[in-house]
Structure 1
Amino acid sequence: MNLNQHPNVKFGKTGVLLVNLGTPDSTKWLDIRKYLKEFLSDRRVIEVNPFLWKPILNLFILTFRPSKTAHAYKKIWFKESNESPLLFYTRSQATKLKNRIGNNDLIVDFAMRYGNPSIKSKLNLLKEKGCENLVVLPLYPQYAAATTATVCDEIYRSLMTMRWQPSLQIIPHYESEKLYIDALVNSIKSKTNKISWKPDLIIASYHGIPKSYFDKGDPYQCYCQKTSRLIKEQFTDHEIQTTFQSRFGPQEWLQPYTDKTIEELPKKGVKNLLVICPGFSSDCVETLEEINIQAKESFIKKGGKNFDLIPCLNDSEDHIELFQTLIERYLVK
């Protein structure tokens, strides 16, 4: 073999990849359906025998649910940039992190587990740019099989197609990181200083999972409760209650349910309510529509007076500092 004819292969760089859940490309019915199909076909998300689940998914759910989901996305869609809030904030997070730690040998990018930009496309791009080392940060503070683990699954599948695989390090969870808790407490204090009323209660609402997943050993609920406990240890001005939202289907999910809890609060004398969603790294349809529109309407209708949502950490400096700290632990010095 003539050594002078060796193919030109870039090497020697490190890639950092932020990965969030995902988003449809638009609010159109077909784009919503495509996104839902990918999401709800994940065996980590729906642990039902595929021979039973696929007919239900394709014949019923993907026929009727896209219209309902599209209606929700249209309420919170960023029309000026024509993208979802989750895509906007995840891109901004990657850009701000790049400005902090990026250089010629350290490339920062982002991907989505479902939808675009895909994990596979971004891993291939980082490999083409010469990344021999990869550090992946799934943007889920509390580990769950249906979130962090499925990101890992997709990364492994993508690496299986590579002849020269990069080294890989995945940051599994950060539910009790001091900078994370500090950032959440700062966001609560910032909101309470801005509003003209005093909250009777603060709800810490996390995305739910079926109780059966917890019974099988998923640590997610424990991580959520740990985050809430650490917030309450630092912030004692108001009572904080943990609930779980976004349940789907007829089976039992982690309780107490956010929607049912909020509906009952006015009867118990809670008229002024703040909600924070610590498990979401970016505001999205679950926070902006499900909580700040649906839950707010329900609370006011049942007799509540004041309701507000504490924004997710999004692309705040506290959040980017947290990402930098987490990632730098895994970088080769």
Structure 2
Amino acid sequence: MNKNNKQGVLLVNLGTPDEPSAPAVKRFLSQFLHDKRVVDMTRWLWCPILHGIILPIRSPKVAKLYQSVWMEGGSPLMVYSQKQAEKLVDKLDIPVELGMTYGNPSVLTGIEKLVVQGVDEIIVLPLYPQYSSTTTAAVSDALTIAFKQMAEIPAYRFIRDYRDHPLYIKALAASVRRSWEQHGQADYLICSYHGIPKRYADNGDVYPSHCAQTTKLLQQELGLSDDQIGMTYQSRFGREEWLQPYTDKTVEALPTKGIKSLDIMTPAFAADCLETLEEISGEVQELFKEHGGERFNYIPCLNDDELHIELMVELVNSHR
């Protein structure tokens, strides 16, 4: 990149509703579920299902779930993303802005804020450690759409993934060790990743191999045996088969195998959100205890942890 140009960073995450209300959730889900990267079903078939059934039924339910985790400064994902951006500015001393693939602030808004600050070279950091067409590629699509609305586009560099970066693995391991110090080590550690339809992987999405690589490196870093750690997939939607093993089904079966205490973490999420706080710490914990589990400990996402910020600094600096 041209060292004479002014550089800036665009942090990109999935996004969040503006408020925990049914209308706001409906707007957000509509944009999210219209993306062909997320749902590749034929539009003439999918759109009537989406607008006639899914959005009217799910929006009020999901709004109530958001209300249960909403923080003073907004949704957890937004609060932690803002903290990440603020800390990154302090470490890098260059402009850093947020852009969400869906919802606000948009990718275009983030780019425009950087350009106003004189930035003409952007380092784009999608906060998805493991690559997937449903997430990372969707960020690339959002960039293209944003650039179509600009007369002059800035130079940019795209950080594709960091599933095996040493600092990422060390940050994950440190969060586990911190949990062990506070709560004791459980019988088993689950790494729960957001799922995707199995068909996507069959068609070439490398996501499952990336998840497996992260889990294996974390296992080695923590010195755990195969009997002490495993990986699962959560948040499936619809009737088709998704990547397995499923988190909920796995957790239900563990107590019958003698595993009464469980640690669970979500390495694919860079910030806590509905899928980690409500689904994992809430619903999955209830399942575990209902089926005979005794102690459940959710290990938070890396969020704005100092080691996580150090990783982001290294990722950005390696692309400057």
Q: Fold-level match, TM-score > 0.5?
A: yes
In structure 1, the partner of 2:21 is: 28
Provide the secondary structure at the position in 2 that maps to 1:131.
coil
**Within 2, Cα distance between the matches of 1:121 and 1:96?**
20
- Quote the Cα distance in structure 1 between the aligned partners of 2:229 and 2:7: 41
Which entry has the higher C-alpha Rg, 1 or 2? 1
Equivalent in the alignment of 1:227: 214
After superposing the two structures, state which structure 1 stretch, 29-38 or 122-131, moved more. 122-131
CA–CA separation in structure 2 for the residues paired with 1:155 and 1:135:
12
1:294 corresponds to 2:294:
no
Map 1:69-80 to 2 at 5 A: 69-78=62-71, 80=72
Q: Name the amino acid aligned to 2:96.
A: V
Q: Could you list the structure 1 runs, at least 4 aligned residues long, displaced by more than 4 angstroms after superposition.
A: none
The reply to whether residue 61 of structure 1 matches residue 54 of structure 2 is yes
Say if 1:13 and 1:107, in contact at 8 Å, map to a contact too.
Answer: no
SS at 1:21 equivalent: strand
- Does residue 91 (structure 1) correspond to residue 82 (structure 2)? The answer is yes
- Residue 244 of structure 2 corresponds to 255
Per-residue Cα deviation, 1:163-189 (whole angstroms, up to 9, x for no partner): 221111110000000000000011100
One-letter amino acid matched to 1:159: F
Alignment of 1:128-277 (within 5 A): 128-195=116-183, 197-237=184-224, 239-277=228-266
After TM superposition, give the deviation of residue 237 of structure 1 in Å: 4.4
Give, as a single letter, the amino acid of the residue that structure 2 aligns with 1:232.
Q
Alignment partner of 1:146: what SS?
A: coil
Asked whether the equivalents of residues 12 and 130 of structure 1 are also in contact (C-alpha less than 8 Å), the reply is no
Paired-residue identity, %:
44
Partner SS for 1:67: helix
The aligned amino acid for 2:175 is S
Q: What does the per-residue CA deviation read over 1:206-250, in whole Å, with 9 as the maximum and x for residues that have no partner?
A: 000000000000000000000000011111246110000000000
Query: How far has the Cα of 1:198 moved from its partner?
Result: 3.7
5+ residue gaps, structure 2: none
Matches of 2:144 and 2:285 in 1, distance apart? Answer: 41
TM-score normalised by length of structure 1 = 0.93
**SS of alignment partner, residue 120 of structure 2:** strand
Conserved 8 A contact 2:97-2:113: no
SS of the aligned residue for 2:102 comes to strand
How far residue 108 of structure 1 moved from its aligned partner, in angstroms, is 1.0
Preserved CA contact (<8 Å) 2:12 2:126 = yes
Aligned partner letter, 2:165: E
Q: Which whole-Å CA distance do the structure 2 matches of 1:187 and 1:118 have between them? A: 30
1:101 equivalent in structure 2 = 92
- Is residue 266–residue 304 contact of structure 1 (8 Å, CA) maintained in 2? yes
Q: CA offset at residue 12 of structure 1?
A: 4.1
Q: Alignment partner for residue 112 of structure 1, among 93, 100, 106?
A: 100
* Displacement of 1:254: 0.2
**Secondary structure in 1 matching 2:134:** helix
**Alignment-derived partner of residue 35 in structure 2:** 42
What is the aligned-residue RMSD (CA, Å)? 1.1
Counterpart of 2:163 in 1: which secondary structure? coil
Q: Is this contact kept in 1: 2:69–2:274, CA < 8 A? A: yes
C-alpha separation between the residues in 1 aligned to 2:224 and 2:161? 28
Give me the whole-angstrom Cα distance separating, in 1, the residues matched to 2:187 and 2:5: 55
Tell me by how many angstroms 1:128 deviates: 2.6
How many residue pairs match? The answer is 315
Distance 2:124 2:105 in 1: 15
> 2:236, 2:250 → 1: CA distance?
13
CA distance in structure 1 between the aligned counterparts of 2:96 and 2:262, rounded to whole angstroms? 38
Distance 1:161 1:265 in 2: 51
**8 Å CA contact 2:254, 2:260 repeated in 1:** yes
Matched residue SS, 1:145: coil
SS in 2 for 1:251: coil
